[in-house]
C-alpha cells in the first residue's frame, strides 16, 4: 500500500482554520496535496451528512477544523460541532469505519504551523489505514 495516495476532505471554518491554512501558505509551509479544503462559515454549519457524503463520495479521511473553543465567531458553533461529532464518531465505529478516519480539531488564524502539522499527520495516518471502500451498495453485490 506504499503508493496509496489518500483522498482527504477538510472542512475549514472561514474565521480561523481557513485563515490558518492561508498563513501556512504565506509562510511557505508545505502540506500534503491529498488534503482538499472546503471553506465553510463555521464548523457548526458542517452537518454530519456532509461528512458522510464525503466518505460515500470517495474520501478516505475527513477533517473538520474550526476555531479554538471560546473563539468561535458565532459564539458556540464549534462546540455544537464537537457535540455532534462525538456522537458521530461512535456511530462510525458501528459501521466498521475506523474512527481515526475522522478528525475534529482546532486551528487558529495564526497557527499556520499547526495546520501543516494536523494535515500532515492525518495524511500519514490515512496512508497507514489504506483506502476506504464503503460496502453495502447494490452495484457491486447484486447482479
Partner 1 sequence: MSDKPKVAFYWCASCGGCEETVVDLEEKILDVVKAIDIVFWPCAMDPKYSDLEAMDDGEIAISFINGAIRTSEQEHISKLLRKKSGVVIAFGSCAVMGGIPALANLKNKKDIFKRSYRDSPTNVNPEGVLPQTETDLDGCRLSLPEFYDTVYKLDDVIEVDYYMPGCPPTPANLETAVQAALKGELPEKGAVLLPDKSLCVSCDRNETKPDDITISRIRRLTEVQADPEECFLAQGIICMGPATRDGCEYPCVKGNMPCTGCFGPVSDADQGARMIASIGGIIDADDEGEVRDAVSAMPDPAGTFYRYSLSSSLLGKKREER
Give me the residues that bind partner 1 (CB under 8 A), please.
47-49, 52-53, 55-56, 69, 79-88, 90-92, 94-98, 129-130, 133-138, 141-142
Handedness of CA 37, 126, 56, 143 (dihedral sign): positive
- Residue 14 Cβ, how far from partner 1 at the closest point, in Å? 20
- Residue 44 Cβ, how far from partner 1 at the closest point, in Å? 9
> In the complex with partner 1, which residue's Cβ is closer, 91 or 110?
91
d(CA 20, CA 27): 11
Buried b (16+ CB within 10 A) or exposed e, 40-54: bebbbbbebeebbeb
- Residue 11 Cβ, how far from partner 1 at the closest point, in Å? 14
- Residue 120 Cβ, how far from partner 1 at the closest point, in Å? 22
Using DSSP bridges, classify how beta strands 8-13 and 61-66 pair: parallel, antiparallel or unpaired: parallel
> In the complex with partner 1, which residue's Cβ is closer, 24 or 103?
103
> In the complex with partner 1, which residue's Cβ is closer, 21 or 118?
118
**Orientation angle between helical segments 77-94 and 48-56, nearest 10 degrees:** 40
Residue (of 119, 133, 143, 139) closest to 63 by Cα position: 119
Amino acid at each position: 500500500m506504499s503508493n496509496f495516495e489518500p483522498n482527504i476532505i477538510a472542512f475549514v471554518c472561514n474565521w480561523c482554520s481557513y485563515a490558518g491554512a492561508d498563513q501556512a501558505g504565506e509562510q511557505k509551509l508545505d502540506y500534503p496535496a491529498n488534503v482538499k479544503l472546503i471553506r465553510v462559515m463555521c464548523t457548526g454549519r458542517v452537518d454530519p451528512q456532509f461528512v458522510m457524503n464525503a466518505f460515500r463520495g470517495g474520501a478516505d479521511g475527513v477533517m473538520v477544523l474550526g476555531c479554538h473553543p471560546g473563539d468561535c465567531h458565532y459564539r458556540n458553533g464549534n462546540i455544537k460541532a464537537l457535540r455532534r461529532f462525538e456522537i458521530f464518531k461512535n456511530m462510525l465505529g458501528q459501521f466498521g469505519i475506523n474512527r481515526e478516519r475522522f478528525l475534529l480539531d482546532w486551528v487558529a488564524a495564526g497557527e499556520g504551523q499547526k495546520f501543516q502539522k494536523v494535515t500532515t499527520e492525518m495524511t500519514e495516518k490515512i496512508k497507514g489505514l489504506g483506502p476506504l471502500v464503503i460496502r453495502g451498495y447494490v452495484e457491486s453485490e447484486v447482479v
